[in-house]
Structures are given as structure tokens and as C-alpha cells.
Structure 1
Amino acid sequence: MADKSNIVLIGMPGAGKSTLGIVLAKILNKDFVDADLLIQNQSDKTLQKIIDALGPEGFIEVENAVLSGISATNSVISTGGSAIYSDEAMKHLAEIGTIVYLQISYDSLKTRLGDLQERGVVLKNGVSMSLHDLYDERKPLYEKYAQITVNVDDLTITAAARKVASAVE
């Protein structure tokens, strides 16, 4: 039986996976792993440069390989918003931890995100894809993989982290 001591955060870009993840790790006395930083470190490029060089599908392959190779224990793992495009990676993450979907409404997301181009967001259908299209495409995937769903609308990072902590304990 795999060690399920990890908490894996999934959700839209801007839902707070990285920021909330750090606070959550402190609350639960766990280590923190930022999958986006792992990808950048292993590729020696920013996420946006990887997407520019390899295209969305190429980036998803790199992300899948990195996520599938994570062997953390007692950690909060923050994934990139596009992790859910990699079934293999999501199965691996479910084996090593509990997958928590940080749910956020479209309106909250629009307020938080600003420019998608600046964030290294994977737009599978190219740069013409709107935030609403992205939201509609990813939401059912987050719901499919989530073991626990926590709505983080209108919560401060600390309040959202506490809500997740109580949901996983």
C-alpha cells in the first residue's frame, strides 16, 4: 500500500494552489512541493518558455513525466492547473495522497487571474481560448479526479487553508 500522507491540490490557475499550499503545509506540519517549480527546475525554463517551445501538448508530456515521478511523503503537493490533462500523473498522485480540488467560481477566477498569457497557462486550443472556455473545459476534469472538494470563493488564503485542513483531517 502506497503512503497516502500527502495532500495533492488541484484547481484552476489562480485558485490559490501554491499560496494556500504553503499555508496548509504549515498548519498540518507537512513539507511543501510546488510541481510547477519542479517542472521549471528540471527543464531549466519558465513554464511559459516550455509552452512556447513545445506547445501545449509537449508541455503536458513534460508535466506528466514530472508529476508521475513525484515520490514525496507527508507533503502538500501543489500541481499546475493543467495536471488534470495527464491521466497517468493523476492516478499516481491519487496513489500517494488525497486529491483536494480547490473549487472557485468563474467570477472569482476572472477577478484573480488577470492576463492568462503572463501566467504560463496551458491553452490546449491555442491563445484564442477564453478564460471561460478554459474553465468549462477543466471543471469536469477537476471534479472527476477530486476526492475532496473545497470551495475557496471569497475566503482569505489562511481561511481557505484552514477549511482544507479541516476537510482532510
Structure 2
Amino acid sequence: MKKDNLVLIGMPGVGKSTVGVILAKVLGYEFLDSDLLIQKEENALLREIIEKKGLDGFLEIENRVNASIETTKAVIATGGSVVYCQEAMEHLKEIGTVIYLKLDYSILQRRLGNLKGRGVVLREGQTLKGLYNERTPLYEKYADIVIDEKKLNAEQTLQKILEELEK
């Protein structure tokens, strides 16, 4: 299978879904949000799944759902925790170009507000800063393209992605 999908990874709040929808429209691709696929498959909201099955249970589901995505010409917005799922990430790299939307911690902190309501996966006693520091190296490891969103709005982020894809 050729890599004709685009996979967006990054922390919650960086705009994976927002930019992903616009990117799909511009390219004439389908848009998939893997968090929505998980909710549909489990028939529950992300935070309900995390409450019911715990963090590890949620990550197992996230791994399974993402590892089973079979599509072409799609922009796939992933959940922020997908980088903990090795099997899923290997699969996504096989079927697409992985684009890491990178945002400075200070901007992210302002954007996020209430984490629990967003279904953000925090371990007991973990802070957003801790989560950011833990995930950043994983995002960088899996990324084919890194887009630094510092001082960029959604439109400018989109332009930057399109420029990178031209290269």
C-alpha cells in the first residue's frame, strides 16, 4: 500500500482536527478523526472509556483502532496519546506521512483549559507539563514532518503543511 494518507499527531489542543478538516478539503481527501472512531466503536465518550477501563484499557483500545485503520487519500487526526501505541504508530507510518503539529508549552497551556473534559489521558499525579515532556520525544521520533506552529494560526499552519508536502 502506498503512503497516500496524512497522519496528524501532537498534543491535545494543537489543532489536529481543525487543521485536518481544512487540509482534507484542500486536497480532496477524506477526513478521519481516530478519537471519533474509538467513540463509535466503544459506543462511549473518551472520558467514559478512560473512567471505565482505566488508562491502560483505553490505550489498548486506541492501539487496536488506530492499527486497524485501512484507508487511502485521507487525513487522519489522531488522539494525543496514540504515540504510546507502538503497533498503531508503525501501522500509521506505513500507510501515511506522519505530521507532528508542535506547539510551545506556554501556548498549549493557555489553549487547553480543562483537561479532563477533553478526555486527556493523565496518570495519577501527572501534570500537563509532565505529559508534554513525556510525549514530545515520541512525537519527534515518529514524525516524518514537523510543523512548528509558534505564531501560526490554522490557515498559516495549513500553508506550512502544504509547502512541506511539495518538497
Question: Which interval holds the TM-score relative to the shorter structure?
Answer: over 0.9
Shift of residue 3, structure 1, vs aligned partner? 2.1
Q: Helix, strand or coil for the counterpart of 1:165?
A: helix
The TM-score, its normalising length taken from structure 1, stands at 0.96
Structure 1 distance, partners of 2:23, 2:153, is 12
Match of 1:72 in 2: 71
Which residue does the alignment assign to 1:134?
Answer: 131
The gaps in structure 1 that reach 5 residues or longer are none
- Residue 156 (structure 1) aligned to one of 137, 153, 156: 153
2: CA distance between counterparts of 1:165 and 1:27? 9
Report how far residue 111 of structure 1 moved.
1.0
Q: Give 3-state SS (helix, strand or coil) of 1:64's partner.
A: helix
Compute the displacement of 1:72 (Å). 1.0
How many pairs were matched up? 166
Aligned partner letter, 1:154: K
CA distance in 2, matches of 1:50, 1:32: 23
CA shift for structure 1 position 155:
1.4
Which ranges of structure 2 fall in alignment gaps of 5 or more residues? Answer: none
Shift of the alpha carbon at 1:78? 0.3
Give the 3-state SS of the residue equivalent to 2:80 in structure 1: coil
Give the corresponding residue for 2:142. 145
Match of 2:165 in 1: 168
Does the Cα contact within 8 Å between 1:11 and 1:81 map onto a contact in 2?
A: yes
Q: What is the TM-score normalised by the length of structure 2?
A: 0.97
> 1:26, CA displacement in angstroms?
1.2
Is residue 20 of structure 2 the alignment partner of residue 16 of structure 1? no
Runs of 4+ in 1 over 6 A off after TM superposition: none
* Separation (CA, whole Å) in 2 of partners of 1:27 and 1:98: 17
Write the mapping of 1:44-55 to structure 2, written as runs, cut at 5 A.
Answer: 44-55=43-54
